[in-house]
Amino acid sequence: MATEAEAIVNDWGGGVHPYRVGHRKLGMWLFIMSDSLTFSALLIGYAYVRASNVWPTPFKF
């Protein structure tokens, strides 16, 4: 039983950071990406609404 527990502990390798990214840096990158996606969605939505509406005909002088 003890050897099985030791094998699990040895295989786990906890505390290893493969990309060495801190939680603050990761949080900032997630915020920047979500903010850019939100802004792009607003621009695409505006462009779609603007392009789908009929433009007024120019009046004659």
Q: Where do runs of H (alpha helix) occur along the chain?
A: 2-12, 23-52
**Where residue 59 falls among pLDDT bands split at 50, 70, 90?**
confident
Distance CA(43)–CA(17), nearest Å, equals 37
Q: Residue 48 and residue 16: Cα distance in Å, rounded? A: 46
pTM of the full predicted structure? 0.57
Which of 8 and 46 is assigned the larger pLDDT? 46
pLDDT value of position 38: 98
Positive or negative, the CA dihedral 26, 28, 33, 38 is positive
End-to-end C-alpha distance for the chain, whole angstroms: 95
> pLDDT at residue 1 above 60?
no
| pLDDT above 90 as % of the chain | 41
60: pLDDT strictly greater than 60: yes
Q: Where are the domains of the chain?
A: 19-53
Q: Cα–chain-centroid distance for residue 9?
A: 33
Average of pLDDT values for 1-26? 70
